[in-house]
Amino acid sequence: MQISILSVVVILIILYFKFGDRLKKKYKFDFKPEYKIILQEKVAFYAALSNEEKIRFEYEMTDFLKRTRITGIDIAIDDADKLLVAASAVIPVFAFHDWHYSSITEVLIYPDNFNESFETAGPERQILGMVGTGAMHGTMILSKQALHHGFMNETDKHNTAIHEFVHLLDKSDGAIDGIPENLLGKHYVMPWVNLMADEIKKIKAHKSDINPYGATNNAEFFAVVSEYFFEQPDILHKKHPELYEMLERIFKRKST
């Protein structure tokens, strides 16, 4: 029996629609077409995904926004702000499937950098973002400027919002200590600790292109190199292959 090209095409079309239906059933949610345009324009990570992955990314973002309030403090916030916060939350955990950050219920958006007393005016306002502790547990604060800047310049190695969500991920094993034991696996804890110590030494000796803030402590090192990993993976791979491999392991982004 001869199979015509037409029947092959018909079969492919039927399969496409069946598969599409399955996706819709699995991910039941509304996502405005204009949101897709914003993401495509501003979020390089999203733009590089396949169509199927994009749907899952949108689904994970919608789920995050359902669970997390996003509030502007002395500033009006719009859908683009909320989308960038949700994208920053999803990027580090995208490979985990259905990850829920357990220690956050609200993200406060400040207009600009702030200081330790949460003031957005006056001197010594160097903080761009932070994960709240103590009375502020469950809250993250982000500067709106820093949030947008993180997605504006794709050639640097900085993304404040991703940095803060990596701290939360780090916290998922109980401590923000730069050692995400639950994600690394026991065997890799010591190699990771040693690698961090070596790289921090190099930063302190001015022999590294990693943001010097990463030398503050292990927790900051992990968050800073994670920004680098998601912003400039190719350069990180080339310049710091060992570090890259460890981060691939942590974020489950190994393709082979």
* Interface ranges with Zn ion (CB under 5 A): 220, 223
- The CA distance from 108 to 102, in Å, is 17
Question: Would you list the DSSP string of 37-55?
Answer: HHHHHH-HHHHTS-HHHHH
- 220/231 with CB nearer Zn ion: 220
For 65-84, the DSSP string reads HHH-EEEESSS---HHHHHH
Give me the least distance between CB of 131 and Zn ion, in Å please: 8
Across-strand partners of 142?
109, 129
Least spacing, CB of residue 20 vs Zn ion, in Å: 41
Tell me the closest approach of the beta carbon of residue 176 to Zn ion, in angstroms: 9
Indicate the residue whose CB is closest to Zn ion.
Answer: 223
Cα–Cα distance for residue pair 162/239, rounded to 1 Å: 21
Rounded Cα distance, 211 and 221, in Å: 9
Distances 221 to 4, 19, 88, 161 between C-alpha atoms, Å:
60, 42, 18, 15
Q: How far is the CB of 9 from Zn ion (least distance, A)?
A: 53
Which of 185, 192, 75, 172 has the alpha carbon at shortest distance from 131? Answer: 172
CA-wise closest residue to 181 among 224, 222, 131, 152: 222
Residue type (1 letter), 90: V
- List of residues 6+ apart from 241 with CB closer than 8 A: none
- Nearer Cβ to Zn ion, position 82 or 178? 178
The residue (of 58 and 220) whose beta carbon lies closer to Zn ion is: 220
Residue 216 C-beta: closest distance to Zn ion, Å: 8
Q: How far is the CB of 138 from Zn ion (least distance, A)?
A: 17
Amino acid symbol at 64: F
Nearer to Zn ion, 43 or 223 (CB): 223
Closest distance of CB 211 from Zn ion, Å? 11
- Interatomic CA distance for residues 103 and 145, integer angstroms: 24
